Structure 1
Amino acid sequence: MSTNVYVLLLNPAIACILASAMLIIWYHRPSAGAMRTAAIGLFAFAVAFVVQDIVPAMPYGLSNLFTNLAFLAAVTLICVAVIEMAGGKVPLLALGLTALATVCAILWWLYVDNDLTARIHVMNVSHSVMALVTLIATFRSGSPGWGRSLTIAVSILALINFSWRPLQVIWEGNFYADRNALHDSIYWNTTRLGSPILAVFAALSLLVGLAVVLIKELKLEARLDKLSGCLNRRGFEERSLHLLQAPDRPMLRLTMIVADIDRFKQINDTLGHATGDAVIRTFGRTLSDAMPFDAVVGRIGGEEFAVLLAGEGADRAYDITRSFQKDLSTALESQGLPPATASFGIYNCGYQDDLSTILSRADLALYEAKNDGRDAIRMHHPRLRTVRTRAKKASGS
């Protein structure tokens, strides 16, 4: 095999390697559909390069037709993958109509009025339109971050690349008599260099975008309590501090609810930890469902939960908590779990209160609910501001 063939195989080899890596990622992470789409597009690139440069010419212009359609499919699929990775809505109608118009034009300039230069213009204009559609879709995605920035950069580079090519053809005389004349042109050499570089850059941007998504998910998992589905203590404190330190904090009404499952230790000791875990899971998910969408809900201890309500006063918090008590009873019964109750403390946050003070005062109200017989809701009031510790919580919780 000659050195020239090895050089010609370089582009499809790079495309296949990147496509294989993306398929492996997609296999282990099926939710990353953009990886699968991009992999198919890169395989189409590889096939197009092989048919164009290595496979002997087929009769009736089939080689040209197959190559053009393969490149068109590759660009379309990679555009779709880029938009998906940016979190945008794929404009299937715009991309589909562009692809259909391109196919019709290719067939015309191949079988009706055979014109190589016209087909080059058709392909470049088509790819420019797709790059522009991709750029608009990524701008509209509205999901800031490195992933979106990279996909926008790829779209801009693709738009510049494909828009420049027709101008280069015109500059060279706007006519190629045959494929030999095309292969000897500056346009051909720059295109062969630019296409794989652009494809590699697009693939790498998708991989970086996926890495950014994975990092965000890992950060989110580090702040979630997997058993209850609520934030863990770290996540709850971070989200709560964000609200407490917001610029509009003086105008924002905040209310803290602290909840503790009654006699939870007895459930664990008599029915087993599996049942206890099921109660925690049901409690956490029912609590999240019962609260407003912007509430900060967290599991801050073994059987202790906290909710920070924004824009709600203590009276509204009381009504929400009462409703949750009924929802909890229904949820436990529907899942065949033992009946369980909880005690609640509510504190209407002051403008100058820090998180520690807020939790302490909500805890004081919770202790009163425990001491009053459990399965109760108590509001914080000034006479509760006595020095207490968690060690004084009612025995057995």
Structure 2
Amino acid sequence: MSDSSKETLVPPATDPLSLEERKFRLEFRKFEFEKSKSRGLLGFLNSNLAVIITLIIGVATVAVSINQAKFNEQSNKDQRALQARLNTEQLMLQREISANQLNLEKLKASAAQEKDLRTLQFDIARAMLEKQSEIGTQDLQRVYYLREVVMSVLPKEVALAFTRGAAENATEDRVRSAWADGFVKLSLNDGLPPANEQTRPISVDDVVKSLPALRKVADAGRRIQDILDAAKAYKLEGSEQVILAYALFTSNLFKEMEEDFNFRSEEQVAAAFPTAFSSPSEAKSFVGDARALASKVYSSRFGNDRPGDAWSYRGRGYLRTTGKAAYARSSELTKINLLAEPGKLVDGSVAAAEIAAVFAQLAEQGAPLTVQGVVEQMNERFVGLAGIQSIYEKLVPGSRKVTVGLPSTTLTRYSRSR
């Protein structure tokens, strides 16, 4: 059935169409088309609204489910990681607690052991103090033994006090020196950092200024220069003070370049050579007879195998080289034939060459060129350590002053160790 309203709006077909009418009709058709289109979309939406809503809800539900699943998965992963971390930290904590408990037990055991050791050490110290008269022996061999006991057994502070006190109370120079050497060795090994020593080059004037007594020695300047030249020749720059201290001590500031066998009494002879004479009476016939005394104490020793060797190869030079075997070694080192002319070791340049050559050899063997290092290499009882260290402290500004206050006789005399 046709719509009457539309028909009244359309002009008669027989009427000729004007341009305006055709334009009107096109606009009208466009309007009708848009209107029908709107009706179709709205109708579709109205008729399928429930389905569309259901679809939207379904999509949203699926999206929420997916997000929930991802969240649950991440949450489980984080929880497992957290649990693993907690387990690891708990294991580490248990191990740390166990290690601390073990260390604590060790410390307790060490403290108990230290307490027992301290008790033993002080018991020994008390016993030694009670027997002070026996400890004050003048027998050098017993002194060395007692000194070793004191230095190795007693606590450091007790050993220092004991060795210093023994040095101050000794009545014989060699005994006094032995205890002073022990005190200096303990002092140098106290674990303190090294002093700020000045290692600048040293000159003859520096040495004489440090040791004014050298001004009274006629050839002191020349001998000092010989030592400095020898140190340079053997590439011992920086160790000149150690070499000088050693040479100055053993030569009694250049006044004793060879061993003196002229003693005034049998007591002095017996004290100087205790292994050769058990009593002063045995030494009486050797007083005033230097050659006979040298033969008595050095024949068939130190490489001496011919009559007269003991006297020819007696102690000379800054190292107190003694015996044919030692002279042969020095000859090889210095390229000077000391076997043929042993008396050359009294000469300053030859003595300087020998001590520099020997010290250079020690350095090549890895020995430290310090006072302690050299003295311990030269003799196992570190004889002369206190005296040499005392001179070194005067030559080197800034060095540790461990010999301050020790008896002066321990610092200026050469102690025989034979």
The TM tier, using the shorter chain, reads under 0.3
Instruction: Indicate the structure (1 or 2) with the bigger Cα radius of gyration.
Output: 2
TM-score (ref. length: structure 1):
0.19
- Name the structure where strand makes up a greater proportion of residues: 1
